[in-house]
């Protein structure tokens, strides 16, 4: 079952999301508060994607995101933001969300975002057994894990997919559009900024010195390059 959790305190927006995701074939678990959402996720461990509103009574969406990520790196997380300014907070706090949707959003935009993350989390990719060994990094494409100097680095599904694109293309400058296409899918029509946000977070996890990244380097005005 394609199970999605929706955390939104405004009932009209929540109903709008539930109706549209149900129509798109998802089973939707609804929560009005962050505390309830965390309980429902514990009760529904097969939930693949969570949509989290930010402004809530009680704990806010960022805190819910942090608490989910503390124990679950697999689930796809989309923040529902009221203004673009809130995205800067997401960027700043690096709470572990994979994507964000700015209100008001259309049903098509919403389902496209959820579909894209569901494909990531659900592992629709053909399971290829193998390893990409580029010391100090070792990517296991069967278990979808990354090690640096033999130590496991916890990655979200999106972060893993980005690493895989990089490690399959060492030394090649990849445009942000190409990364977006390869990681989120060609039918995805989100913003390029989400690539930067995820790469910024990925750098925090894999670089020796985030101020001076040497593994994922920026190709100004174009994109990024994986270079060892």
Contacting positions for Ca ion (CB under 5 A): 9, 53, 55
Indicate the residue among 79 and 146 with the shorter CB distance to Ca ion.
79
Q: How far is the CB of 82 from Ca ion (least distance, A)?
A: 7
Indicate the residue among 83 and 142 with the shorter CB distance to Ca ion.
83
- CB–CB of 135/171 below 8 Å? no
Indicate the residue among 55 and 93 with the shorter CB distance to Ca ion.
55
116: its two tokens: 């894209």
- How many other CB atoms are found less than 10 A from the CB of residue 90? 21
Q: How far is the CB of 10 from Ca ion (least distance, A)?
A: 5
Count of positions (residues) in the chain? 228
Q: How far is the CB of 134 from Ca ion (least distance, A)?
A: 43
Reduced to 3 states, what is the DSSP secondary structure of residue 151? strand
Residue nearest to Ca ion (CB): 55
Indicate the residue among 9 and 178 with the shorter CB distance to Ca ion.
9
Question: How far, in Å, CA of 172 to CA of 84, rounded?
Answer: 32
Indicate the residue among 50 and 158 with the shorter CB distance to Ca ion.
50
108: its two tokens: 């098509």
Q: What is the DSSP letter of 6?
A: E
Q: How far is the CB of 55 from Ca ion (least distance, A)?
A: 4
- What are the residues whose beta carbons fall under 8 Å from the beta carbon of 183, sequence distance 6 or more? 120, 158, 161, 162, 165, 195
Q: How far is the CB of 8 from Ca ion (least distance, A)?
A: 6
């Amino acid at each position: 079952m394609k199970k999605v959790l929706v955390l939104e305190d405004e009932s009209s927006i929540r109903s709008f999301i539930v109706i549209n995701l149900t129509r798109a074939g998802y089973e939707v678990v609804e929560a009005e508060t962050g505390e309830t959402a965390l309980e429902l996720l514990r009760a529904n461990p097969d939930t693949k994607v969570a949509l989290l509103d930010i402004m809530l009574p009680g704990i806010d969406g960022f805190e819910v995101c942090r608490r989910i990520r503390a124990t679950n790196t697999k689930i796809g997380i989309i923040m529902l933001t009221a203004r673009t300014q809130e995205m800067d907070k997401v960027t700043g706090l690096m709470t572990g969300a994979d994507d964000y949707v700015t209100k008001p959003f259309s049903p098509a935009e919403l389902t496209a975002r959820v579909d894209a993350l569901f494909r990531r989390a659900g592992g629709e990719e053909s399971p290829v057994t193998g390893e990409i060994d580029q010391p100090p990094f070792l990517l296991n494409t069967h278990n979808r894990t990354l090690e640096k100097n033999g130590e496991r680095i916890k990655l979200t599904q999106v972060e893993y997919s980005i690493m895989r694109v990089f490690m399959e293309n060492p030394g090649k400058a990849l445009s942000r559009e190409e990364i977006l296409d390869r990681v989120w899918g060609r039918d995805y029509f989100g913003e390029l900024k989400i690539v930067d946000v995820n790469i910024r977070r990925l750098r925090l996890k894999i670089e020796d010195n985030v101020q001076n990244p040497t593994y994922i380097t920026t190709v100004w005005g174009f994109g990024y390059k994986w270079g060892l």
